[in-house]
Structure 1
Amino acid sequence: MKTSPEESVATTLAENKMAGPPKNRLGLTIPQSLALIGPAFVAGAWRFGPGALTSAVQAGSQFGYALLWVLVVSTILMFIFNDMAVRIGLATDDSLVQTTKRTLGRPVGVLAGFAVFGITLMFAVGNAVGSGLALKMLFGGSMVGWTLACTVAVAILIALPNTYKIMERLLVALIGLMSVGFLASAVLTDPDWSLAASGFIPRIPPEAGFLLIAIVGTNFSINSAFYTGYAIRERGLKPSQYRSITLADTIPGNVATGVMAMLIIIVSAAVFNASGVVVHTFPQLAQVLEPVAGKIGSVLFGMGFFAAAFSSMAANASAGGTLLADGLGWDNTLSSPRVKALVYVILAWGAAVTILAKGSPIQLIIVAQAMTVLAAPFLGILLFVLSSRRDVVGKLCNRPWQKVLGLIGLIAIFSLSIRLIVKLFS
């Protein structure tokens, strides 16, 4: 029996209603895919702080677009180790530190917790200074006053119920703000895009050695990768969701921070080409950015700077408190009062040193770099070993290509560590 066009339309609408919302190739609806976004972005917010921003500013100002390719390599290696932490978090019932204690011995797990806490304690100072400095650039006033305001804001965030869920959504939103700010700034500075494209051809400019180490070290952060396993557990995600998590969160989360670092290099290079001024810090860049990109360009860049510093401030303190509590054998979720107390210790330390230092705490930043040098290879080995053991992660253990890239990453970490140790003690 032939149906009328009206009946065909009605039948199609009924079938679509029964089928539910449109799904992607993984069989997930758009809301279901968006619901998986979070852990990799939290880790990205941690590593993409004032240190990463400053190294990118210096790279663009001193060497133009020549070091863009380094960020591509760093992003790939970051994804590999981030993915290892995701698989460990999905496959085990325990946290990463607990799994380390059970598999490799309690002292090793305790050391991992203290190592991460030490790093976050030192980086808290740079994040505190960066947050206050960004708001001073945007609104004027006292840097110390804004630093205290940001510290109180993060403390209130940590005190809320369902802390992790709220923080995760805030950090994802802040990364979105960063993306808008830095992309708009890159467009407004009118860079030479063809020349920028040549920066993806690997070459190392003379005298770029130490800055090259800094770029890789700040963007290929094993510390933040380690914390991803905790973020996965906070969300209660399952091994069956691994592929969906990879496509919806792990890949976008790592690509987003890598692309933003590239945009900062592009902005800095464009400003240098237009003004001839070599800048070394974010405030210096903001000062020379306005004549090149206008007031709106300077404001947008300042917004991105604040989003980066504030999000890193929250993620850094949360990670440090969680890892130390776990190392001590306490609860290891942000809802735990003990974890919150340790988070407050990190926040208070950052604010106190900012007030007492009355300037840029360069020495503490150097100490933080030294601690990272000592901790990163150790944490990288833990992730590689645990994710390679079938008795730990089962079917999610490293495949041959993941082992190869993981070994390349470990070689890179050890090479950076040796170079930095020589530099620090020479």
Structure 2
Amino acid sequence: MTKYQFIGILMLNVTQQYRLRPSMKLLKNLTLIGPGFVVAATGLGAGDLVAAAVSGASLGGQIIWAVVFGALIKLALNEGLARWQLSTGSSILQGWQQHLPRWVNGYFLIYLLLWGFLVGAALMAACGLAANALFPQLSINSWAVLHSLLAVLLVLFGRYSVFESAMKVLILLMFATVMAALASLDLSGINLQQTLLTDTGRQSHDNMVLAVIGGVGGSVTLLCYGYWMREKAWHSSAALPLVRVDLIVAYTITALFGIGIMLLAAKAAPATIQGTQVLVAMADELGRTLSPVFREVFLLGVWAAVFSSMLGVWQGVPYLFADIMAARSKSKQLAAADRNSWAYRSFLGYLALPPMLLLLLGKPVWLVMLYAVTGAFFMPFLAITLLYLNNRIIAKAQRFGIASNMLIALALIVFAFLSLQSLFK
């Protein structure tokens, strides 16, 4: 059995389990969805773009399957998070607080503080780079600061409906620009030979495959989906079919976008350039190969991708901090759903301001190492807790089926391997 057949069987099982048959009801649901677009746009950050671009430049289309597989297991994880919240009425962080040892939320709080500091700086730098490539009149750091402050204003003074609409526009913009570039390029000659981890014969290629699987669709931002569900008033298990449609649309877009970046990079990205500069190099090459307009169009899509990720992180991640603070204070009020709470606004400021120092000073080695150690356990931990909570705690009628358990178990294996690799490489 090839990896494509295996992934196809898993997708068929998921479809059968979720009973996703074409119907007028399904078409009506498509007009109601929204949080999925938000989580998709938030999860497609600079790191994901770079991983897909570098992989495409080095391996062509050989590891397209890794994008599909990564999106599939992130879909399963997010569905598990939604299943828990809709079945119990509590967030996953509240579930950890109630059913797991007390140190769990303490560990996550430490990781969240490190994650917010480093990812905040990375998103600012990526937004600054994309904007500077379009409008070089301002420096990268100036653009980075302006984007961070603009995101704060949009979060503080915009309703959720405005935020969701903005994210839909941004994800449409980034998706359309990549598809337009793909449609204009001659993609013949791209290597699509099937490649497994053991087929590559080189450790660097294995690392690229694992980076693509791990990066597609986000990590901590998966947890934000539950708070965006609350904003849409999806509160009971009756909303689970709608959530599944929402997530399938979201991760289909995520997979197609990742594949598009990979194929564009196979034609337009120099394999010698690493980091976020590879995206600018791709734009320059598209401008030479097609027309100067395509350089600007592609950079606009890159900007939409990284700014939507910043906006989603700035809006969604403070909910997590507010939820932890509510649990630690024994508060019975769902402070995590209140964007006016002190905890939410404090963490928003923490994301938007202190990371600016890293733009000037660089990342201290000890901070990066601590982040790597604490972060290595997050995704395996999330998979384990979902297997436990959604098979033992919630009502039997709402528990995982065979397909969900298989996908979550696969996620556990993949991310455990990634974690060990990051710690011992």
TM-score normalised by the shorter chain: which range applies? 0.7 to 0.9
Distance 1:367 1:286 in 2: 35
**Other-structure match for 2:261:** 264
Distance verdict in 2 for CA 1:114–1:370, change over 3 Å:
closer
1:408 paired to 2:410: yes
Match of 1:380 among 369, 380, 383: 383
Bigger Cα displacement from structure 2, 50-59 vs 344-353 = 344-353
- 1:362 deviation in Å? 9.2
* TM-score normalised to structure 2 length: 0.84
- Residue 290 of structure 2 aligns to a residue whose secondary structure is helix
Q: Is the 8 A contact 1:117 1:320 kept in 2?
A: no
- Residue 329 of structure 1 aligns to a residue whose secondary structure is helix
* TM-score normalised to structure 1 length: 0.83
**Other-structure match for 1:64:** 60
Distance 2:407 2:72 in 1: 9
Distance 1:137 1:215 in 2: 25
Match of 1:332 among 318, 336, 347: 336
**Other-structure match for 1:284:** 281
Give the aligned residue type for 2:243: I
**Other-structure match for 1:138:** 134
Give the aligned residue type for 1:243: P
- 1:266 deviation in Å? 0.3
Bigger Cα displacement from structure 2, 365-374 vs 277-286 = 365-374
1:48 paired to 2:44: yes
Bigger Cα displacement from structure 2, 179-188 vs 329-338 = 329-338
- 1:220 deviation in Å? 5.3
**Other-structure match for 1:241:** 239
- 1:195 deviation in Å? 4.1
- 1:48 deviation in Å? 0.9
Distance verdict in 2 for CA 1:393–1:155, change over 3 Å:
farther
Q: Point out where structure 1 has 5 or more consecutive residues left out of the alignment.
A: 1-23
The superposition leaves residues 195-216 of structure 1 with CA deviations (integer Å, 9 ceiling, x where unpaired) of: 46x3566564232022222112
Distance 1:113 1:368 in 2: 12
1:25-424 aligned at under 5 Å gives the runs 25=23, 27=25, 30=28, 33-38=30-35, 40-141=36-137, 142-162=139-159, 164-192=160-188, 195=190, 198-199=192-193, 202=196, 204-207=199-202, 208-219=205-216, 221-237=218-234, 238-247=236-245, 249-272=246-269, 278-280=272-274, 281-329=278-326, 331-333=335-337, 335-338=339-342, 339-357=344-362, 368-389=371-392, 391-392=393-394, 394-423=396-425
Distance 2:48 2:148 in 1: 20
The superposition leaves residues 176-234 of structure 1 with CA deviations (integer Å, 9 ceiling, x where unpaired) of: 11101111122233212x746x3566564232022222112211544232222222223
Q: Is the 8 A contact 1:223 1:379 kept in 2?
A: no
Distance verdict in 2 for CA 1:386–1:41, change over 3 Å:
farther
**Percent identity for Structure 1 against Structure 2:** 20
- Residue 332 of structure 1 aligns to a residue whose secondary structure is helix
Give the aligned residue type for 1:384: L
- Residue 336 of structure 2 aligns to a residue whose secondary structure is coil
Bigger Cα displacement from structure 2, 279-288 vs 108-117 = 108-117
- Residue 170 of structure 2 aligns to a residue whose secondary structure is helix
Q: Is the 8 A contact 1:175 1:307 kept in 2?
A: yes
Distance 2:384 2:265 in 1: 35
Distance 2:288 2:62 in 1: 24
- Residue 211 of structure 2 aligns to a residue whose secondary structure is helix
Q: Is the 8 A contact 2:318 2:347 kept in 1?
A: yes
- 1:366 deviation in Å? 6.9
**Other-structure match for 2:11:** none
- Higher alpha-carbon Rg: 1
Distance 1:181 1:254 in 2: 18
Distance verdict in 2 for CA 1:158–1:105, change over 3 Å:
same
Distance 1:352 1:368 in 2: 17
- Count of aligned residue pairs for this structure pair: 387
The superposition leaves residues 22-42 of structure 1 with CA deviations (integer Å, 9 ceiling, x where unpaired) of: xx7263674x5322222x222
Distance 2:273 2:391 in 1: 44
The superposition leaves residues 355-389 of structure 1 with CA deviations (integer Å, 9 ceiling, x where unpaired) of: 444xxx59577765554323222222222322223
Q: Point out where structure 2 has 5 or more consecutive residues left out of the alignment.
A: 1-21, 328-334
Distance 1:401 1:29 in 2: 24
Distance 1:87 1:336 in 2: 27
Give the aligned residue type for 1:321: P
Q: Is the 8 A contact 2:283 2:294 kept in 1?
A: no
**Other-structure match for 2:18:** none
Distance verdict in 2 for CA 1:145–1:334, change over 3 Å:
farther
The superposition leaves residues 150-172 of structure 1 with CA deviations (integer Å, 9 ceiling, x where unpaired) of: 1111010111153x332222212
Distance verdict in 2 for CA 1:71–1:59, change over 3 Å:
same
Bigger Cα displacement from structure 2, 119-128 vs 392-401 = 392-401
The superposition leaves residues 3-53 of structure 1 with CA deviations (integer Å, 9 ceiling, x where unpaired) of: xxxxxxxxxxxxxxxxxxxxx7263674x5322222x22222222111001
Q: Is the 8 A contact 1:97 1:110 kept in 2?
A: no
